[in-house]
């Protein structure tokens, strides 16, 4: 596995203990999910605090292109943002503008937020936030090259469930693996990273061989469910 490969997981439950455990175990990143997670924006700062002192990045998936939410999440100290259903370069540019201060963006300025130590650190001391643009629909697939070329986009991240669903309802669309390869190549050709959410270890290894570097292995609830099911199966068969 390359040093550039980042292995993470989805945090659906919103449990501080699980977020902290993931960091203690050495995951490269966790995804705090405001689109489908079992918690709201008010929990984000406390969940990010669970990563303090670790090397684990805290990436927050916002519900969509909502500049106010993007700004607040970054103020709380997120290392990066994932935006779902990015469909065009124009949308990607709008996301970047919401993440950046003037003159290149429109993000509101406050030095007294957690991201800057409540006013104890200079704004320039913090590295730029990471942007993972999530490709989940046929428009995003068609525009993946233009999205990847957008200044400020760091990676194209494939949402497999929504992309499969979208392709299934478009008879002229390519098959899923062809679409995945197209998105991956769009990223690579522009010097950007690519990534995907996977469910099984075998698929994770395959995506690494494919060249993807931002990979999430399931979710906290999914991994816990699998562990419980495996435990019960062993007990019932003994």
* CA atoms of 174 and 95, how far apart (whole Å): 28
Q: Active-site residue 165, yes or no? A: no
Q: Which of 36, 85, 169, 184 is catalytic?
A: 36
Distance CA 183, CA 187 (A): 6
As to burial, measured by CB atoms within 10 angstroms (0-12 exposed, 13-18 middle, 19+ buried), residue 176 is middle
**Helices marked H in 8-83:** 16-24, 44-49, 67-75
- How far does Cα 1 stand from its chain's mean position? 20
CB 9 within 8 A of CB 223: yes
* Neighbouring residues of 169: CB distance < 8 A, sequence distance ≥ 6: none
Distance of CA 142 to the CA centre of its chain: 21
- Note if the bond before 103 is cis, omega within 30 degrees: yes
| DSSP tag of 91 | H
3-state secondary structure of 167: helix
Catalytic site positions: 36
């Amino acid at each position: 596995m390359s040093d550039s490969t980042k292995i993470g997981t989805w945090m659906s439950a919103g449990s501080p203990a699980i977020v902290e455990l993931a960091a203690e175990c050495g995951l490269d990143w966790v995804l705090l999910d405001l689109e489908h997670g079992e918690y709201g924006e008010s929990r984000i700062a406390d969940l990010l605090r669970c990563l303090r002192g670790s090397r684990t990045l805290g990436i927050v998936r916002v519900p969509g292109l909502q500049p106010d939410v993007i700004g607040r999440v970054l103020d709380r100290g997120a290392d990066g943002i994932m935006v779902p259903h990015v469909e065009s370069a124009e949308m990607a540019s709008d996301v970047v503008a919401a993440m950046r201060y003037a003159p290149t963006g429109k993000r509101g300025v406050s030095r007294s937020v957690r991201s800057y130590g409540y006013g104890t650190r200079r704004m320039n001391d913090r590295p730029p936030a990471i942007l993972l643009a999530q490709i989940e629909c046929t428009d995003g697939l068609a525009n993946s090259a233009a999205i990847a070329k957008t200044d400020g986009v760091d990676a194209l991240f494939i949402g497999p469930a929504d992309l499969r669903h979208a392709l299934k309802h478009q008879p002229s669309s390519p098959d899923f693996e062809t679409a995945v390869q197209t998105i991956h190549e769009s990223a690579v050709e522009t010097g950007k990273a690519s990534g995907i959410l996977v469910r099984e270890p075998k698929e994770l290894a395959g995506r690494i061989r494919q060249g993807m570097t931002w990979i999430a292995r399931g979710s906290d609830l999914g991994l816990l469910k699998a562990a419980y099911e495996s435990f019960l199966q062993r007990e019932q068969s003994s």
